Amino acid sequence: MDRRVLFATLILFAGGTAGVGVAVFAFVGLDDATVDTEIVWESDPAGGDDGTGAVVATVDGDPRVIQPATDGDDPVIRAIDADGNPAWTTPLPDGTDPGGIGGLVAGTLGGDPVVAYTSPDGELVAVNAADGAERFVVPLDGTGGIEPAFGDLRGDGTTELAAVSEGGHVLAVDASGTVVLETELDGDPVLRPLAVEGTDATEGADPDDSDTRSDGGLAVLTETTAGQTVSVVDANGGIGWSEPTDATALSWNAADTRRGGIVALGNADGTLTTLEALDGSLRYEVGLQDVPIDVGDADAGRIHAGGTGDVWAVDLLDGEVVWKQQYGGETRVNAPGVADVTGDGTAEVVVVNRGGGVLAMNRNGEAVARGSAGDAVVYAPPLFADVTGDGTAEVLVVAEDGTVIALAV
């Protein structure tokens, strides 16, 4: 079998910046023997959102795709069941642009599946994923419109819901909607907040003293006229640390490693920067290409990123680019996701590009499945859910018009 795998050595330089390393990796070619994906179903379109606001929630063991939408002229949140059919809709406040709520986030509060968003008018809203019923509404000190975050922010084994609003106001609530953490940062929020591991419980605490360590924290990216700053809010609502960034981050994600948690930023200049969650120090910075990159999911000690026609797997510890896969020519590749979509018991890296092309790769970066969502324009990363009941996740592609396309490998 002709795998057409070409190994190459690339030397990556980034202007001599401290922490920018040299990477040796495998460039992996596509394989004509890959499996083709099959479209299982397509939902009806859902106007009002560009597809990036959708999430998957699990209700009594069954997946549901939940997304901002319009029902006629009315702004709503709608849920789609495992067969691609409507499950429920719940209204958004009158006059709300579904695309202006900054996207939904799915999680659990008090053991119940919940989806949440922040409204442009400045409210943190949580609804039950089972039926769309409102769970609570909490006012924010400033306008919203940025996706909130679920996480065990206090390190006590319970999940909180955190949001950031205009002016750098940060708050977190418990399962009942009661505020349990609140603080102020300089600047306005840029991207969704991230739950992170390995923060100090108090500013200036000894990182080697286990009594001062917290298992949870919230990373927040804010921006002023002076540039962007990454801050971590600790379990007590204090500022564990704040570090200005040299580049402009357009995407980010958090990951855990055997050396502690990190925050990974995908920058406008094509660099990938990782900061230690404990103190904000630079772990590494790697130049991937000279156009913006989208940071996606982490798995098996690697963080994955998409760019223009390329996908990378980067080692979380040292920044070595483990492999690079070219895909789609000059078409933008959205942030990669990770899931077992082939049923082999190991996770694949799955990407969707702006033209609706789908590619699944194994741990070595070799293509194992390819497909297409048709003529769809796609801005969203892939979602995953077992919609066929066979125990293996299917790839869910959400198009620009809100249509959800389920593809099976």
Tell me the C-alpha distance between 229 and 222, whole Å: 5
Determine the pLDDT at residue 31: 57
Neighbours of 79 (CB within 10 A): 23
Determine the pLDDT at residue 23: 46
Query: Looking at residue 381, what DSSP letter applies?
Result: P
The owner of tokens 């913006």 is: 292
Determine the pLDDT at residue 95: 82
Task: Provide the sign of the torsion angle of the four alpha carbons 137, 148, 170, 122, taken in this order.
Answer: negative
Determine the pLDDT at residue 213: 47
How do residues 34-74 score in pLDDT, each as one tens digit? 799 999 999 999 989 999 999 999 999 999 999 999 998 89
pLDDT confidence of 156, banded at 50, 70, 90? confident
Count Cβ neighbours within 10 Å for each residue of 315-339 and write b for 16 or more, e otherwise: bbeebbbbbbbebbeeebbbbbbbb
User: Is it the case that residue 346 has pLDDT exceeding 60?
Assistant: yes
Neighbours of 376 (CB within 10 A): 20
Determine the pLDDT at residue 197: 80
How do residues 15-24 score in pLDDT, each as one tens digit? 333 344 444 4
How do residues 271-313 score in pLDDT, each as one tens digit? 999 999 999 999 999 999 999 999 999 999 999 999 999 999 9
Tell me the C-alpha distance between 192 and 123, whole Å: 15
105 and 147 Cβ atoms separated by less than 8 Å: yes
Q: In what order do the strands lie in the sheet with 357-361?
A: 35-36, 367-372, 357-361, 348-352, 337-339
Q: CA separation (Å) from 218 to 79, 85, 318, 394?
A: 28, 36, 24, 31
Query: Looking at residue 42, what DSSP letter applies?
Result: E
User: Is it the case that residue 208 has pLDDT exceeding 70?
Assistant: no
Determine the pLDDT at residue 22: 41
Paired tokens of 330: 């000059």
How do residues 226-280 score in pLDDT, each as one tens digit? 999 999 999 889 999 999 999 999 999 999 999 999 999 999 999 999 999 999 9
Tell me the C-alpha distance between 70 and 48, whole Å: 6
Tell me the C-alpha distance between 140 and 97, whole Å: 18
User: Is it the case that residue 363 has pLDDT exceeding 60?
Assistant: yes
321 and 310 Cβ atoms separated by less than 8 Å: no
How do residues 160-206 score in pLDDT, each as one tens digit? 999 999 999 999 999 999 999 999 999 999 999 999 986 544 444 44
Determine the pLDDT at residue 268: 98
